[in-house]
Amino acid sequence: MLSGQTLVLGAGQITITKNLMIDGDLDNDGVADITIDANALGRVFELDDGSGTPDLEIRLSGLWLTNGVATGPGGAVLNRENLSIVDCNLIANQTMGDDSPGGAVSSGPGNLTIIGTNVIGNSTSGRSSDGGGISNVGGNLSVTSSVIAQNETTGFGSSGGGIYSDGGSFTSGGGSLTVLRTDIDDNSAVGRGGGINVRRSSYTIDQSTIRYNETTGSSFDGGGLYSVTSNPSQRGTIVNSTIHGNRAQGYGGGLYILFNRVQIFNSTITSNTAGGSGGGIHSDEFDPDFGSRTVVASSIVASNQPSDVDFETFFTGLNGFTSRGGNVIGLGNATDAFADSELIGGADPELEPLDRYGGETYTRPPLASSPAIDVGKNPDRLSEDQRGEVRTFGDATDAGAVERNDMD
Ligand SMILES: [Ca+2]
Ligand SMILES: [Ca+2]
Ligand SMILES: [Ca+2]
């Protein structure tokens, strides 16, 4: 067994200026064997050949990167190329100073691919320093089979406790964010988006859980996720996912959606709380000319405080929610949009407590008595539920992220 091999950096970062693969998983068991400890003296890696474009391909795998400290972006890694981080642990890195995004990683405009990696306990502390864990501006960020936990921003105006992802432009295609089979857990932001803040881009959250994240700044919105764009071609998709136990001091305990067109299909949104309205989902500024709306199908949005589905619009006064049916919905000023769904008011949706029930993430399967059983739909023709079990069992699809089957 290989273990405990640690390289402590004496002073300053390692700068990579060419295509390179570094593999610290010496015995190929998928578990990192080499630790690079920046010893709180600087950043661990800067990836940039100075060409001004993201033209290098770099892969870091099997590494622990810890105790990185940067005054400026990226506590452990500043990436200006195309980077894959595979089977790594990015633990307890931080940025200090203002305008210093990405407690663990700052990336863009190149692409960042994160697989099988734990990003835990990283932070930013300066003003306007977004992304306690990861910041992506202008690139494509994908996070698969990973854990993003206990990261935080604490400086004024710093958004996205776990992940901050900015496509970089309201007008062009911009970058994107994809989160697959990943746990976004217990992150916090002073600003908008305790777990995730995604702006000016398309995004997908699939087979993932966003739980126990919060905004800590007074009146800041989006405990689990905050999304905004004014470009109707930039769309959000949340499918087969669980949004549970998040808290916003402002609006949108689970999700806060501003202008964006967002589809929420086959998902479970429970036990989130907001200081303002929209404990589950707050949909803001629906504009029919613009195409913004919050489209919900086959989902459970219930047992959130003070309510589940709320809209607010300064300009049009119209309900921004559209139901595609098969939902289980509790309370809120937007329930008129859900006439085709099960309206349970303040009743309990009767789900198991959040825990591991198979698959890679935490879920809440319906109890046998749940009103979610067999009332859902499957508009995307999904073959799997969030945990990878069959999506439709029995008479029909269950509402929510998990299908109850005869093994439950
Ligand atoms: Ca190993
Ligand atoms: Ca370059
Ligand atoms: Ca069923």
Q: Annotate the chain with three-state secondary structure.
A: CCCCEEEECCCCCEEECCCEEEECCCCCCCCCCEEEECCCCCCCEEECCCCCCCCCEEEEECEEEECCEEECCCCCEEECCEEEEECCEEECCEEECCCCCCCCEEECCCCEEEECCEEECCEECCCCCCCCCEEEECCEEEEECCEEECCEECCCCCCCCCEEEECCCCCCCCCEEEEECCEEECCEECCCCCCEEEECCEEEEECCEEECCEECCCCCCCCCEEEECCCCCCEEEEECCEEECCEECCCCCCEEEECCEEEEECCEEECCEECCCCCCEEEECCCCCCCCEEEEECCEEECCECCCEEEECCCCCCCCEEECCCCEECCCCCHHHHCCCEECCCCCCCECCCECCCCCCCECCECCCCCCCCCCCCCCCCCECCCCCECCCCCCCCCCCCCCCCCC
80 Cα to the center of ligand 2, angstroms:
7
- CB contact at 8 A, 323 and 340: yes
- pLDDT of 2 reads 47
Asked if residue 54 has a cis previous peptide bond (ω within 30° of 0), the answer is: no
Which ligand has the nearest atom to the CA of 376? 3
Report if residue 351 sits inside a domain. Answer: no
The closest ligand to the CA of 326 turns out to be 3
Number of domains the chain contains: 1
- What integer pLDDT is reported at residue 286 of this predicted model? 77
Bridge partners for 210 per DSSP:
184, 243
Phi, psi of 110 (to 5 degrees): -70, 175
Distance in Å, CA 26 to ligand 1 centroid: 5
Q: How many Cβ atoms are within 10 Å of 46's Cβ, its own excluded?
A: 22
Q: How many CB atoms lie within 10 A of CB 247?
A: 22
Q: How far does the centroid of ligand 1 lie from the alpha carbon of residue 35, in Å?
A: 11
Q: How far apart are CA 175 and CA 245, in angstroms?
A: 29
CA of 162 to the centre of ligand 1 (A): 26
| Residue 367 within any structural domain of the chain | no
Report CA(298)–ligand 3 centroid distance (Å): 11
| 88 alpha carbon – ligand 1 mean position (Å) | 10
| Ligand with the closest atom to the CA of 1 | 1
Ligand number nearest to the C-alpha of 403: 3
Q: Smallest Cα–Cα separation from 76: which of 58, 89, 87?
A: 89
How many A from CA of 386 to the centre of ligand 3?
14
Judge whether 382 lies within some domain. no
**Measured at the alpha carbon of residue 404, what is the angle toward residues 373 and 371, in degrees to the nearest 5?**
20
Alpha carbons 199 and 171: distance in angstroms, whole number: 12
Residue with tokens 């001004």: 52
In a domain, 86, yes or no: yes
> How far apart are the CA of 278 and the centre of ligand 3, in A?
28
Is residue 216 situated within a structural domain? yes
Question: What is this structure's pTM?
Answer: 0.97
Query: 208 is in which domain, residue-wise?
Result: 5-311
CA distance 177 to 217: 25
Contact 138, 168 (CB under 8 A): yes
Q: Minimum-distance ligand to the CA of 32?
A: 1
Tell how far the Cα of 51 is from the centroid of ligand 2, in angstroms. Answer: 4
Beta bridge partners of residue 34, listed in sequence order: 5, 63
Ligand 2 centroid, distance to 52 Cα (angstroms)? 5
Q: Classify residue 376: in a domain, yes or no.
A: no
Length of the chain: 408
Q: Which ligand is nearest to the CA of 393?
A: 3
Distance 137 CA to ligand 2 centre (A): 16
The amino acid sitting at 262 is: V
Going from the C-alpha of 256 to that of each of 94, 104, 199, 329, 340, the distances in angstroms are 27, 25, 12, 17, 23
User: How many angstroms separate the CA atoms of 282 and 259, rounded?
Assistant: 11
In a domain, 88, yes or no: yes
Residue 29 tokens, joined: 């068991």
Q: Which residues of the chain have pLDDT under 70?
A: 1-4, 172-173
Are 85 and 45 a contacting pair, CB within 8 Å?
no
Whether residue 383 is contained in a domain is answered as no
267 Cα to the center of ligand 3, angstroms? 14
Give me the pLDDT at residue 223, please. 98
User: How far, CA to CA in Å, does 162 sit from each of 14, 109, 143, 149, 244?
Assistant: 25, 19, 12, 7, 15
Q: How far is the CA of 158 from the centre of ligand 3 (A)?
A: 42
Distance 48 CA to ligand 2 centre (A): 5
Q: Cβ(66)–Cβ(93) under 8 Å?
A: yes
